[in-house]
């Protein structure tokens, strides 16, 4: 089995998309061995537990810096012997050492068509607010490898989504999740699991 660790910070809708595709057989050779949250009490942990997946919080605020926090995460995932780490709405930047230890084994889903509306500070609703402010007609999502630069790793998959008249950042965010993120994240995982 292709062993996946998932890092979350919030509701876990992208986590749910992966769980759904494992359960419907699309990701038949994959299993999520561990879900780790950077914050206590997030709904993503409940989603994992509901599906019998090991879920725990390794709180960012319990560590004095990024290096110490990343070391704790690395130790956890090495113990889990994961083949892939998926950042699914994970809002903490990982240390360079962490990224090197799991080189080409960490992927992230970003809510824009990189290189647009990405990089430091572009998370949550911000990429959608900026896309609407700029007036783009097409946005979307990108799954990419994680490297030392925020949203700077090699692109694995992208999917475009049309911006509609009257879109608010919230409406656009929901459409990008449904029409792009939740589709290409499982696709990227399948692609990588087949290459192993």
Q: Average the pLDDT over 135-152 and give the result.
A: 96
30-37, strands of its sheet edge to edge: 55-57, 30-37, 2-8, 84-87, 106-110, 138-145, 155-162
H helix runs in the chain, sequence order: 13-23, 43-50, 66-80, 96-101, 126-134, 169-176, 182-195
Identify the bridge partners of residue 37 per DSSP, sorted by sequence position: 8, 57
pLDDT digits (tens, 9 = 90+) for 13-62: 999 999 999 999 999 999 999 999 999 999 999 999 999 999 999 999 99
At 91 the pLDDT is 86
Q: What is the pLDDT of residue 70?
A: 97
Catalytic residues: 110
Domain-by-domain residue ranges, the chain? 2-195
Cis link prior to 115 (omega < 30° from 0)?
yes
pTM: 0.96
CA nearest to 161, candidates 145, 149, 172, 171: 172
Q: Which CATH architecture has domain 2-195?
A: 3-Layer(aba) Sandwich (3.40)
Neighbours of 186 (CB within 10 A): 23
- Cβ proximity of 107 and 145 under 8 Å: yes
By DSSP bridging, strand 55-57 and strand 30-37 are parallel
pLDDT band at 176 (very low <50, low <70, confident <90, very high): very high
Contact status, residue 195 vs residue 31, Cβ threshold 8 Å: no
Q: What per-residue confidence (pLDDT) applies to 25?
A: 98
Interior angle at CA 5, CA 81 and CA 20, nearest 5: 130
């Amino acid at each position: 089995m292709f062993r996946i660790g998932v890092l979350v910070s919030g509701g876990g809708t992208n986590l749910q998309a992966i769980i759904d595709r494992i359960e419907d057989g699309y990701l038949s050779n994959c299993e999520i061995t561990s879900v780790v949250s950077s914050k206590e009490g997030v709904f993503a942990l409940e989603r994992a537990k509901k599906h019998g997946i090991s879920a725990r919080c390794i709180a960012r605020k319990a560590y004095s810096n990024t290096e110490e926090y990343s070391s704790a995460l690395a130790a956890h995932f090495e113990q889990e012997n994961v083949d892939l780490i998926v950042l699914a709405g994970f809002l903490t930047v990982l240390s360079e050492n962490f990224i090197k230890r799991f080189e080409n084994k960490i992927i992230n889903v970003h809510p824009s068509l990189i290189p647009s509306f990405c990089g430091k500070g572009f998370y949550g609703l911000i990429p959608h607010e900026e896309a609407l402010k700029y007036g783009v007609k097409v946005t979307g999502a990108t799954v990419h490898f994680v490297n030392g630069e925020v949203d700077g790793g090699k692109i694995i998959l992208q999917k475009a989504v049309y911006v509609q008249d009257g879109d608010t950042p919230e409406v656009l965010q929901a459409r990008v999740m449904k029409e792009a993120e939740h589709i290409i994240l499982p696709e990227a995982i399948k692609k990588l699991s087949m290459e192993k």
